[in-house]
Amino acid sequence: MTTLPSTMKAVEIKDFGPPEGLQLTERSIPVPNDGEVLIRVSHAGVNRPDVMQRLGGYPPPPVASDIPGLEISGEIVSKGNKVDSLRIGETVCALVSGGGYAEYCTAPAPQCLPIPKGFTLEQAASVVETSYTVWTNVFTRGRLQANETILIHGGSSGIGTTAIQLAKAFGARVIVTAGSDAKCAVCNDLGADRSINYQDEDFVEVMKSEGGADVILDMVGGPYMQRNLNCLNVEGRLCQIAFLQPPVVEKFNFLKMLTMRLTLTGSTLRPRTVEQKAEIAEDLKKYVWPLYENGKIKPVLYKTFPLEKACEAHVLMESSKHIGKIMLNCN
C-alpha cells in the first residue's frame, strides 16, 4: 500500500468577500470516517455555491470541511470501515459537502459515481453537481414529462447546459434565456428549441407567443419571480435553485398560484442527508449515466485553472463570461 503524505495543498477562504480571499495553504490530509473514502483529487468543479460560500452567504454544514468545492474526481487511496462497494485504486467522481479545492478529499461512499465510459477525470468531475441538481429539481421535484415545455434561465451556465441536454433527451421542448447571441447559439447547438437573448427580448412576451411553460428552472429570483409565474401554464411548476438576485420580493401576487394550480418548489443539495443523496445517485446511475456513455449528453467545459489559481477561476465565474463549466486541476 502506498504511504500517503501527512499534509496536502488546499485552497481556504481566508477572508470573506472578494476572490482574493481565497488562499493556497497547507492542511492535514483528512481521514475517512465510517462509510467514507479518501480520494486523491484529480479535478474539482467551480460552482456558484462556492462563490456564495466565499462571500459568507452559504456556510458549510456543521460536519463538512470549510474548504470550498462540491464535486470532484480522482482515485480512492483509503477508505473507512463499512465501505464494501468501492475499492482502493478505483477512480470515481463524487458529490461532497465541501473540501473539493484540495489535493485530497473525503466523500461518502454512496455519493461516489463511476467515471462514465470514455470520460476523462476532468470531464467526470464537471458533470456531478449539475447532474444531481438538474435531476432532483427538474425531474423529481419538477416532474418534467415528454412533450412538455421547459424554460431554463441561465442556459449557458453549467446547470443550464446540462438541463438543456437532459430535458431534450427525455423528450421535452426546451426554451432558454442567455445574455448574448453567442451564448444563445451554444444553447441552440446543445438542443434548445428556442433561445432568448434577455438583453434584447422580454422572455415573458416570448413565452406567451410560444405557448407558455410547464416547468421553469430558475436561479435568478428577485424580479424574475413574478415574471416566471406569468409564463407558466395551468399546473405549471417553478423550480427555484438559487438567487442571483435578492430572495426577498416586496410585491408578489400569489393569486395565479391558486387560479392556475401552480407549484413553487425549491431545494439545495448541500444540507441533505447522505441517504437522500444516495437515492439521487442511484437514479443518476440508472437514467443519466447511460446518456453520458452513449454520447447523448456531453460535458461542456470552458476553462481549467491550476488549484493555486482558484482566485482567477472565481473572477471568471463572477464575470459570467463563461459557457459551461469552470474547473480546477488539483494534482
Q: What is the pLDDT of residues 119-150, one digit of tens each?
A: 999 999 999 999 999 999 999 999 999 999 99
Least confident of 110-124, 144-158, 219-233: 219-233
Residue 1: the pLDDT is: 53
| 189, three cell numbers | 447547438
Residue 254: the pLDDT is: 85
Q: Structural domain boundaries of the chain?
A: 7-127+270-329, 138-266
pLDDT digits over 69-88, tens only? 999 999 999 999 999 999 99
**Strand, coil or helix: 164:** helix
Q: Which residues are registered as beta bridge partners of 28?
A: 7
Q: What is the mean pLDDT of the chain?
A: 96
| Average of per-residue pLDDT across 240-267 | 89
In DSSP notation, 37-69 reads EEEEEEEEEE-HHHHHHHTTSSPPPTTS-SS--
CATH number corresponding to 7-127+270-329: 3.90.180.10
Q: Helices 181-189 & 158-169, crossing angle to 10 degrees? A: 30
Which of 122, 131, 170 minimizes the C-alpha distance to 304?
122
User: How far is it, in rounded angstroms, from Cα 282 to Cα 280?
Assistant: 5
Q: Which residues are registered as beta bridge partners of 215?
A: 150, 237
Per the CB < 8 A criterion, the answer to whether 185 and 194 are in contact is: no
Per the CB < 8 A criterion, the answer to whether 220 and 245 are in contact is: yes
What pLDDT band is residue 246 in, cutting at 50, 70 and 90? confident
Asked whether residue 2 carries a pLDDT value surpassing 80, the answer given is no
Residue 252: the pLDDT is: 82
Look at the pTM and tell me if it is higher than 0.85: yes
| Average of per-residue pLDDT across 231-252 | 90
Class of domain 138-266: alpha beta
pLDDT digits over 255-306, tens only? 989 999 999 999 999 999 999 999 999 999 999 999 999 999 999 999 999 9
Distances (CA, A) of 311 to 17, 42, 116, 127, 182: 12, 18, 29, 22, 26
Residue 64: the pLDDT is: 93
Q: Mark 121-136 as b/e (b = at least 16 C-beta within 10 Å).
A: bbbbbbbbbbbbbbbb
Which of 75, 241, 221 minimizes the C-alpha distance to 159?
241
User: Strands 232-240 and 263-266, how do they pair?
Assistant: parallel
What pLDDT band is residue 250 in, cutting at 50, 70 and 90? confident
Are 7-127+270-329 and 138-266 equal in CATH topology?
A: no
User: How far is it, in rounded angstroms, from Cα 86 to Cα 42?
Assistant: 18
Residue 68: the pLDDT is: 98
- DSSP assignment, residue 250? S
Asked whether residue 97 carries a pLDDT value surpassing 70, the answer given is yes
Residue 3: the pLDDT is: 86
